[in-house]
Copies of this chain bind each other. A is one copy, B any other.
Amino acid sequence: MGSTTGAARRGAGRRRLDPGRLGAFFRPRSLALVGATDASRWSQATFENWRAHAGDRPVYLVHPRHRVVHGQAAYPSLSALPELPDLLFVMVPTEAVLGVLVEAADLGVRHAVVLTAGFAEAGPAGQAREAELVALAEERDLVVLGPNGNGFVHASVGCCPYGLPLPEPLRPGPLGIALQSGGLASVVLAMAQARAIRPSLVVASGNEAVLEVADVLAYLVEDPATTAVALFLETIRSPKRFAEAASAALAAGKPVVALHVGRSQAGQAAALAHTGAVAGDAARTRAFLEHLGVVPVDSLEDLLATAGLLAALQRGPRPRRLGRRLGVVAVSGGACDLIADRASDEGFELPPFPAATQAALGERLPSFAALRNPLDVTGYVVVDPTLSLRALEVVAADAPGTFDTLLFQLSLPRVAPADPSPLVARLAQVAALQAGSAVPVVLQASGGGDLGGFAGELAARFDLHLLDGIEHGMGALGRAMRWQERRERRLDRPPPPPVGTLAPPPGARGVWGELVARGLLADHGIPLVPAETARDPEEALAAADRLGWPVVLKLVAPGLAHRSDLGGVALDLRRPEELRAAALRLLELAARQGVEGAGLLVSPLKRGGVELLAAVQRDPRLGSFLVLGAGGTLVELLADRALLPLPAQPDDVADALTGLRIGRLLAGARGRPPVDQQALLAAIGALARLGQALGDALDTVELNPLLATPEGAWALDALVVWATPAAEADPSPSR
């Protein structure tokens, strides 16, 4: 994208994209294909997709020279059409796109899909062209999807202005899908079909010059046909807009699952290359999404499995609430083993069947069956195909009080058997049992994502959702369960208290070392280890006597960072002669390194406790983040970090601490007493409020280590990095 002007204009224009307007955009009653030609398979696919689903809603073909295209009369221009079309689908050459949009606007057409590429993804000339398009859209109140996008597939209303061949049959369902990669949309549609996952609306947003994934999400929240949303994201172009839509989705009980690419540096290069999107730091984006209640996943398989399950659960008169106590009826012992492994990964328990259930199962299953959870109904199911359903009936009837989720494995044939009626009857029973069960029953296709043909037809007929095998299915089950849990927790609690803004203090530029930072931090309630400054060994000695031995001596100077690496710290000084020697060494070091304004800081040595890192980092696009992790020398070793967008709820902070690898130490592992959790949370809370209040003025404020002990929490060292770089003359060594 790149153009600030474009972004600003886009921002201004977006105010008009309310869901009502988008409802009209995504439900056109007529289509004009501009640039239609028999030579283009895009043209052909778009024409056929529209005709296959739109009933008697017309599609007009526009080409300057061709009289007949796709066997239908074509028009030489938009103005020659018999009526104003609701939507344009533009596939003219790159240079002609803007002209077509101007002509359309003059005529009063306000909605367009631009399939043509050669815009922001194609170098500076393309970026300039896209900026023009954005400006035009704003001036003429146009809603444009693309450019460099394939359009959309609105399955729930049979409206498919989409430029690539569609896998048929297209069965409408509850899952909304938005992708920032057009080519991938077709792959995802085919994958969804193979998994019997049925979409409501699929949108390939292309370069997002005007319409963004955030807008599509906002529309899907309002769309009654959609109960969950799957997103493929290369970047979050307008974080604020996205956050609003995601929050609305959470409030509405519509889960959003997102696959965000760009974890790897190489991945970021690829994302940059092909849509001009600027991929943010992957970890921050993930934290941003999770904070909004969006479920992050790492593969297309998990995207579809998770969103597909959630769409099925949140559908119907009332959502089906999963819980952690899982009962399983499976069709092989091997499947039981795999399910048990994956259930444990995902945080499910597998309670044993109650005695009464075991007794009833014993009457229905062969004598050699092991009546355990997960239940293998044994190979006898081949002889008696009703076996596993009858086992499920027993388990489901006894489930309340023991289980709060049931999992039932089902094998559906791809090709219809000679006599499908027993299978069809069984599926009707499964559907009835599922509808009537007090505990939610989740179905699992035993072999996973291959439900094409007959299996897909059956799933659609009985409106059944089947998990995609064990690996992706169990992952989806765990993510869905945790989403429901988190959502309830979030809706139950009050919003975090508002944090005001704070003007940056005088001289807020460059790097502030501990000496300068202490005042600011202390003023805002961050507990710091006591310290006194000293100019020479004798002053240090006097300070040590006042503060209490043993002490720590640190070299300080405005803007001095990473002094440990320089050797600028002396720990555990127990005697006057040790302190004197250390003081001389540090002052010599400062002189040798040319550190200006150097002094000494004397602090009492704090022993024991757990060293944390606590920081606030500002992302210019995604806002302020609280960073928590193992501190001191363990920082790099452990790579033990949690990221929370601000403002954060205290219980989210507590959860983040618990989730750290060193979380166990805080609770008092290996016979140690637990640290003072309240003092620790208070210190982190003060840091978070200060960091957030400073907003864009701040780059980073970091306490490392923040020492948590049973007696309290204190920052032993601190650093502030301002967003404004130091002026040339300022001393700011070694960042």
Sample of 30 A–B contacts (CB below 8 Å): A41-B382, A42-B382, A42-B383, A121-B333, A148-B368, A164-B379, A164-B382, A180-B334, A181-B335, A181-B337, A183-B333, A183-B379, A188-B447, A190-B411, A190-B447, A262-B337, A266-B340, A266-B341, A267-B338, A269-B372, A270-B337, A270-B376, A299-B338, A300-B470, A301-B448, A636-B670, A637-B661, A637-B664, A637-B665, A638-B638
| Segment 625-644 of A: residues with Cβ below 8 Å from B | 633, 636-638
Which one of B115, B194, B262, B636 lies within 8 Å of A341 (CB-CB)?
A: B262
Which one of B180, B270, B450, B637 lies within 8 Å of A452 (CB-CB)?
A: B450
- Smallest Cβ distance from A94 to chain B, in angstroms? 7
Q: Which residues of chain B come closer than 8 Å to A447, judged between CB atoms?
A: 187-188, 190-191, 194, 300
Q: Is the beta-carbon distance between A163 and B334 smaller than 8 angstroms?
A: no
A565 and B300 contact, Cβ closer than 8 Å, known pairs A182-B332, A234-B337, A368-B94: no
| Segment 396-454 of A: residues with Cβ below 8 Å from B | 411, 414, 446-450, 452-453
**A358, CB-defined interface residue at 8 Å:** no
Q: Which residues of chain B come closer than 8 Å to A624, judged between CB atoms?
A: none
Q: Which residues of chain B come closer than 8 Å to A345, judged between CB atoms?
A: 263-264
A332 and B261 contact, Cβ closer than 8 Å, known pairs A450-B190, A637-B665: no
User: What 6 A-B pairs are tightest by C-beta distance, nearest first?
Assistant: A183-B332, A181-B334, A274-B333, A184-B334, A264-B344, A299-B471
Which one of B181, B301, B333, B638 lies within 8 Å of A332 (CB-CB)?
A: B181
Q: Which residues of chain B come closer than 8 Å to A350, judged between CB atoms?
A: 266
Nearest residue in B to A273 (C-beta to C-beta)?
Answer: B370
Q: Which residues of chain B come closer than 8 Å to A340, judged between CB atoms?
A: 261, 264, 266-267, 269-270
Interface 1/0 per residue, A243-280 and B, CB below 8 Å? 00000000000000001011111110111011100000
A262 to B333, CA, bound (A): 12
- Smallest Cβ distance from A422 to chain B, in angstroms? 12
A338 to B118, CA, bound (A): 23
Nearest residue in B to A374 (C-beta to C-beta)?
Answer: B270
Nearest residue in B to A299 (C-beta to C-beta)?
Answer: B471
**A469, CB-defined interface residue at 8 Å:** yes
A546 to B33, CA, bound (A): 95
- Smallest Cβ distance from A733 to chain B, in angstroms? 17
- Smallest Cβ distance from A508 to chain B, in angstroms? 30
Q: Is the beta-carbon distance between B45 and A366 smaller than 8 angstroms?
A: no
**A671, CB-defined interface residue at 8 Å:** yes
Q: Is the beta-carbon distance between A270 and B336 smaller than 8 angstroms?
A: yes
Nearest residue in B to A382 (C-beta to C-beta)?
Answer: B41
**A516, CB-defined interface residue at 8 Å:** no
**A669, CB-defined interface residue at 8 Å:** yes
Q: Is the beta-carbon distance between A183 and B331 smaller than 8 angstroms?
A: yes
Q: Is the beta-carbon distance between B344 and A448 smaller than 8 angstroms?
A: no
A300 and B332 contact, Cβ closer than 8 Å, known pairs A194-B447, A447-B187, A450-B452: no
Q: Which residues of chain B come closer than 8 Å to A332, judged between CB atoms?
A: 181-184, 186-187
Q: Which residues of chain B come closer than 8 Å to A40, judged between CB atoms?
A: 383
Q: Which residues of chain B come closer than 8 Å to A179, judged between CB atoms?
A: 334
A150 and B379 contact, Cβ closer than 8 Å, known pairs A184-B332, A273-B336, A340-B269: yes
- Smallest Cβ distance from A118 to chain B, in angstroms? 4
Listed in ascending order, the chain A residues whose CB lies under 8 Å from chain B are: 39-42, 45, 94, 115, 117-118, 121-122, 126, 148, 150, 163-165, 167, 179-184, 186-188, 190-191, 194, 232, 234, 259, 261-267, 269-271, 273-275, 298-302, 331-341, 343-345, 350, 366-368, 370, 372, 374, 376, 378-380, 382-383, 411, 414, 446-450, 452-453, 469-472, 565, 633, 636-638, 661-662, 664-665, 669-671
Q: Is the beta-carbon distance between A335 and B183 smaller than 8 angstroms?
A: yes
Give me 5 other A-B pairs in contact (C-beta within 8 A), A187-B332, A299-B471, A301-B448 excluded.
A94-B368, A117-B379, A118-B367, A234-B334, A636-B669
Q: Is the beta-carbon distance between A121 and B270 smaller than 8 angstroms?
A: no
Q: Which residues of chain B come closer than 8 Å to A382, judged between CB atoms?
A: 41-42, 45, 163-165
Q: Is the beta-carbon distance between B181 and A261 smaller than 8 angstroms?
A: no
Which one of B181, B298, B446, B472 lies within 8 Å of A187 (CB-CB)?
A: B446
Q: Which residues of chain B come closer than 8 Å to A344, judged between CB atoms?
A: 263-267
Which one of B264, B341, B471 lies within 8 Å of A264 (CB-CB)?
A: B341
A670 to B567, CA, bound (A): 11
Nearest residue in B to A339 (C-beta to C-beta)?
Answer: B270
Q: Which residues of chain B come closer than 8 Å to A191, judged between CB atoms?
A: 447-448, 450, 469
A150 to B340, CA, bound (A): 23
Q: Which residues of chain B come closer than 8 Å to A163, judged between CB atoms?
A: 379, 382
A188 to B585, CA, bound (A): 70
A367 to B275, CA, bound (A): 14
